[in-house]
């Protein structure tokens, strides 16, 4: 208490006078009060002044950024076109077909333009009737389980949600699909049906290309009947002009700044030197190869496991997603093409669209060199399409069967069955001697390759794993065919001789192949060979959930390979998952380790009672990854049999039952042909 009294004493000099009565306000209180009043007065006066004198600012003229034309109708009117060809394309084939149709148009009295539906306002389709003798053609690929391609998603939604009148709109549809998939040509069929429902007039029958057969031949056959139908409908005549029609003109710059030349980038110039997220198809990330090891111990195949480091990229992925990689062509093939065509591959060139109104200014990033185009941008490994040997392509006077093989009946046997790439065609048909720039115009773009990610983003957020088999075999011509992507990846050593780390341009594409929301749901995974890839991610994630203390349901794997001692992929990892209780059942079918071949569907049949209980009673989710043509179909038929034999359903009911599981997302496919 005495200390408190001392604190209340104010020194005034040598002597200290005791305070008998405490004042109402201390000096500090008065100071703070004065400060607040002063601030209020200042605010009031400054506010009044600002109201009386408003400063004048110099008016700035806004900078108007040119807007991309989104009205294809206005563009058609402005450029005097009466035919528009839209493409729904995921790998570039539909886009290529679209370009060929638009280019053909002038031979048949029409004036065409190709268009990406993602770049235009498709709600303007009814306005096409404003243009005399107009026609809309749709080259629509089907993606995944009957879905539209990414660039056609908005158009698909518009068709579903709108009931606009398309009276007076003439249309035709060519679909691109694959019969090994259940929803064959679903997008082409839907577009054709829906446009008619909305009042459009179909001028030629729906074309359906089958990539499991001969997609190119299907398109050419449809096109040969389509154009006469166009001529008849519009009362026009074919010009009969078979001279070559170039879409792009060659420009060889005389004064070029090499810093402005593309060296393999997919979009932005120098994007590989200065990496900027987000990373996607036009802006891939250069991931460092951290691991590249062979998985199989023996046999005549090379199965590999790669790990790509994505640290610092901000790329996120989930188990079941796909990684897209951009491969590079074999240097020896590139050099040989240049040699045959007597071309200086290091010449800097630009191929510029002759149609100045086209949104597609170049067939690939320009300016660049022939070497870069043939190495990074053009598909020189797979068999060329028929347009390389048609009037649009290089001419030949050779009357032998070889000279007509690219555009007539021999295309299937001489080109496709024999797996002749463009180099083999040029070697075996010496009379076909195109200019290199024309060949670059006609060859399709080299596309990204997609692989099911073999890791979990929750367990390995900075690493993406790939499991793949190297494609290499002998063709009937005695040549060795090498898959462009897998052979390129195989040779990606972690650290090169000069100490540089190998890199792979990549991005992640989202998938619907997802683990169930409830960890307690049982999971049945079926994946022979490299089809095991996404299930390695699933198992890592189920193990992680278990460590988190979650109730994780039964996790069962049916895996198929040839021989236990040859290609039992990830054997050690799988046995460890089984030992830890993450993998409830590990069922492996070694197809060639006994006299009679044993496949995953045979093992499924053996466990049919337990599988039916999991599916019908325990809400299990089924996942199938691998070959669509045989394995996926055989497995699906096996589930029909189980539903009939154990569930007591008729075949029709069994089919409907499995389809219902698919609709509910409990029967998922990640397959390829």
SS3 string, 492-542, reads: CCCECCCCCECEEEEEEECCCCCCCCCCCCCEEEECCHHHHHHHHHHHHHH
- Whether 340 maps to a domain, the answer reads yes
Written as six digits, the tokens of 171 are 């249309």
CA distance 402 to 420: 12
Q: Does one domain contain both 575 and 534?
A: yes
Instruction: Report pLDDT for 390.
Output: 55
**pLDDT-derived band at 35, boundaries 50, 70, 90:** low
Q: What is the mean pLDDT of residues 290-298?
A: 94
Which CA distances in Å does 158 have to 53, 162, 198, 669?
54, 6, 12, 27
Domain boundary among 430, 446, 462: 446
Decide if 246 is inside a domain: no
Tally: H helices and E strands in the chain? 20, 23
Same-domain status, 428 and 528: no
Query: What's the DSSP call for residue 86?
Result: E
Residues across the chain: 673
pLDDT at 182: 83
Residues 492 and 479 placed together within one structural domain of the fold: yes
Q: Give me the helices (H) in 81-183, please.
A: 93-104, 153-161
CB 148 within 8 A of CB 185: no
Q: From CA 356, how far away is CA 275, in angstroms rounded?
A: 31
CATH number at residue 168: 3.40.50.360
Over pLDDT 70: what percentage of the chain? 86
Q: Output the domain CATH number for residue 365.
A: 1.20.990.10
Structure tokens given for 95: 């886009």
**Which residues line the annotated binding site for FAD?**
449-452, 467-469, 483-486, 672
| Confidence band of 403 (pLDDT split at 50, 70, 90) | very low
Q: Work out the average pLDDT over 296-311.
A: 95
pLDDT digits (tens, 9 = 90+) for 198-243: 999 999 999 999 998 889 989 999 999 999 999 999 998 887 665 5
Mean pLDDT of all residues in 363-378: 98
The residue from 511, 537, 560 where one domain ends is 511
CA distance 352 to 372: 17
Burial class (CB in 10 A: 0-12, 13-18, 19+), 672: middle
The alpha-carbon radius of gyration of the chain (Å, integer) is 34
Annotated binding site for FMN, which residues? Answer: 89-94, 141-144, 176-185, 211
Query: Which strands form 368-369's sheet, in the order they lie side by side?
Result: 248-251, 348-353, 368-369
For the cut 60, the answer to whether the pLDDT of residue 7 exceeds it is no
Last residue of a domain, one of 489, 511, 533: 511
Give me 559's structure tokens.
């895996």
Residue 659: other Cβ atoms inside 10 A: 12
Q: Are 286 and 342 in the same domain? A: no
Average pLDDT in the 333-343 region? 97
Quick check: 26 pLDDT over 70? no
Contact 354, 248 (CB under 8 A): yes
Do 467 and 603 belong to one domain?
Answer: no
The CA distance from 129 to 169, in Å, is 5
Quickly state the pLDDT bin for 33 (edges 50, 70, 90): low
Given a contact cutoff of 8 angstroms between Cβ atoms, the answer to whether 142 and 150 are in contact is no
Q: Are residues 504 and 616 in the same domain?
A: no
Peptide bond into 470 cis (omega under 30): no
Check whether residue 222 and residue 107 sit in a common domain: yes
633: domain CATH number is: 3.40.50.80
Asked about 625 being catalytic, the answer comes back as yes
Together in a domain, 665 and 535? yes
- Looking at the fold, whether 121 and 185 belong to one and the same domain comes out as yes
Which CATH number characterizes residue 295's domain?
Answer: 2.40.30.10
Cα angle for residues 601, 626, 585 (degrees, 5° grid): 50
- In a domain? residue 28: no
Segment 407-416 shows an average pLDDT of 77
Q: Catalytic: which of 330, 355, 627, 670?
A: 670
Is 393's pLDDT higher than 70? no
Look at residue 379 and give its three-state secondary structure: coil
Give yes or no: 114 in active site.
no
User: What pLDDT score does 290 carry?
Assistant: 97
pLDDT of residue 563 exceeding 50, the answer is yes
Cis check: omega of the bond before 367, within 30 degrees of 0: yes
What average pLDDT score do residues 370-384 get? Answer: 97
Percent of the chain with pLDDT over 90: 74
Active site residue 313: no
Q: DSSP H helical segments within 296-362, as ranges?
A: 331-340
pLDDT band at 50 (very low <50, low <70, confident <90, very high): very low
**What is the residue-averaged pLDDT of the chain?**
88
- Please write the tens of the pLDDT for every residue from 514-542: 999 999 999 999 999 999 999 999 999 99
Check whether residue 397 and residue 435 sit in a common domain.
yes
Residue numbers in the known binding site for NADP(+) are 301, 530, 591-592, 597-601, 634
Distance between CA atoms of 115 and 102, rounded to whole angstroms?
Answer: 9
Whether residues 388 and 257 fall in one domain: yes
pLDDT confidence of residue 27: 56
* Token representation of residue 69: 């034309």
Asked if residue 620 and residue 500 are part of one domain, the reply reads no
603, pLDDT greater than 90:
yes
Nearest to 628 by CA among 486, 528, 508: 528
pLDDT tens-place string over residues 51-106? 333 334 333 444 333 455 689 999 999 999 999 999 999 888 999 999 999 999 98
Mean pLDDT for the stretch of residues 411-439? 92
Mean pLDDT, residues 444-471 taken together: 97
Q: Considering 121, 544, 593, 672, which one is annotated as catalytic? A: 672
Q: Please state, in angstroms and rounded to a whole number, the distance separating the CA atoms of residues 139 and 83.
A: 13
Q: List the domain range (segments joined by +) for residue 310.
A: 275-327+448-511
Assess if residue 420 is contained within a domain. yes
* 433 pLDDT higher than 50: yes
Q: Is residue 491 part of a domain?
A: yes
Q: What was the pLDDT predicted at 57?
A: 35
SS3 content of the chain, % helix, strand, coil (to 5): 35, 20, 45
Catalytic residue (one of 114, 134, 319, 452): 452
Question: Which of 104, 625, 627, 668 is an active site residue?
Answer: 625
Q: Structurally, how many domains does the chain consist of?
A: 4
452 included as an active-site residue: yes
Assess if residue 346 is contained within a domain. Answer: yes
Give the residue-averaged pLDDT of 166-181: 95
Does residue 489 sit within a domain? yes
Q: Is residue 268 part of a domain?
A: no
Show the tokens assigned to 544. Answer: 């992680």
């Amino acid at each position: 208490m005495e200390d408190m009294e001392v604190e209340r004493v104010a020194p005034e000099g040598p002597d200290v006078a005791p305070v008998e009565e405490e004042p109402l306000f201390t000096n500090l209180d008065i100071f703070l009060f004065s400060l607040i009043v002063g601030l209020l007065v200042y605010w009031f006066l400054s506010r009044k002044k600002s109201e009386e004198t408003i400063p004048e600012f110099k008016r700035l003229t806004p900078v108007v950024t040119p807007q991309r034309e989104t009205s294809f109708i206005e563009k058609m009117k402005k450029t005097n076109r009466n035919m528009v060809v839209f493409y729904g394309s995921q790998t570039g084939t539909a886009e290529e077909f679209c370009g060929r149709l638009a280019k053909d148009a002038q031979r048949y009295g029409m004036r065409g333009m190709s268009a990406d539906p993602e770049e235009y306002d498709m709600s303007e389709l009814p306005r096409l009737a404003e243009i005399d003798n107009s026609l809309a053609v749709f080259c629509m690929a089907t993606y995944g389980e009957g879905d539209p391609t990414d660039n056609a998603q908005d158009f698909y939604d518009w068709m579903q949600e709108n009931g606009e009148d398309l009276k007076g709109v003439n249309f035709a549809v060519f679909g691109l699909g694959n019969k090994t998939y259940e929803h064959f040509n679903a997008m082409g069929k839907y577009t054709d049906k829906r446009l008619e429902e909305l009042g459009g007039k179909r001028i030629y029958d729906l074309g359906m290309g089958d990539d499991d057969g001969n997609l190119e031949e299907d398109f050419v056959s449809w096109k040969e009947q389509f154009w006469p139908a166009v001529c008849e409908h519009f009362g026009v005549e074919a010009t009969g002009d078979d001279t070559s029609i170039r879409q792009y003109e060659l420009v060889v710059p005389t004064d070029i700044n090499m810093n402005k030349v593309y060296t393999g980038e997919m979009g932005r110039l120098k994007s590989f030197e200065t990496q900027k997220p987000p990373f996607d198809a036009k802006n891939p990330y250069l991931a460092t190869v951290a691991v590249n090891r062979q998985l199989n111990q023996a046999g005549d195949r090379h199965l590999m496991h790669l790990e790509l480091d994505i640290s610092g990229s901000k790329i996120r992925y989930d188990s079941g997603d796909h990684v897209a990689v951009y491969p590079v062509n074999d240097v020896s093939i590139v050099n040989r093409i240049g040699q045959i065509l007597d071309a200086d591959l290091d010449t800097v060139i630009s191929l510029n669209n002759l149609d100045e109104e086209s949104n597609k200014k170049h067939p690939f990033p320009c300016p660049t060199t022939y070497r870069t185009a043939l190495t990074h941008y053009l598909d020189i490994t797979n068999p060329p399409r028929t347009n390389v040997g048609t009037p649009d392509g290089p001419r030949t006077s050779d009357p032998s069967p070889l000279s007509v093989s690219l555009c007539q009946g021999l295309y299937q046997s001489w080109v496709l069955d024999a797996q002749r790439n463009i180099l083999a065609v040029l070697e075996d048909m010496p009379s076909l001697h195109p200019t290199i720039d024309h060949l670059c115009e006609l060859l399709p773009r080299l596309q990204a390759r997609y692989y099911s990610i073999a890791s979990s983003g929750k367990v390995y957020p900075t690493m993406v794993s790939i499991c793949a088999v190297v494609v290499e075999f002998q063709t009937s011509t005695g040549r060795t065919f090498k898959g462009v992507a897998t052979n390129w990846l195989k040779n990606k050593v972690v650290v090169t001789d000069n100490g540089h780390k190998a890199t792979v341009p990549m991005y992640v594409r989202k998938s619907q192949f997802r683990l169930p929301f409830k960890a307690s749901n049982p999971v049945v995974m079926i994946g022979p060979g490299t089809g095991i890839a996404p299930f390695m991610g699933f198992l890592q994630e189920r193990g992680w959930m278990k460590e988190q203390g979650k109730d994780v349901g039964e996790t069962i794997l049916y895996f198929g390979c040839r021989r236990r001692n040859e290609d039992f992929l990830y054997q050690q990892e799988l046995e460890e998952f089984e030992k830890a209780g993450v993998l409830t059942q590990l069922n492996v079918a070694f197809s060639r380790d006994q006299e009679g071949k044993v496949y995953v569907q045979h093992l499924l049949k053996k466990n049919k009672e337990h599988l039916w209980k999991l599916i019908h009673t325990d809400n299990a989710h089924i996942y199938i990854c691998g070959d669509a043509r045989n394995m996926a179909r055989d497995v699906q038929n096996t589930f029909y049999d189980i539903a009939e034999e154990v569930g007591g359903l008729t075949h029709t009911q069994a089919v409907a039952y499995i389809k219902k599981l698919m609709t509910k997302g409990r029967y998922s496919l990640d397959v390829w042909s």
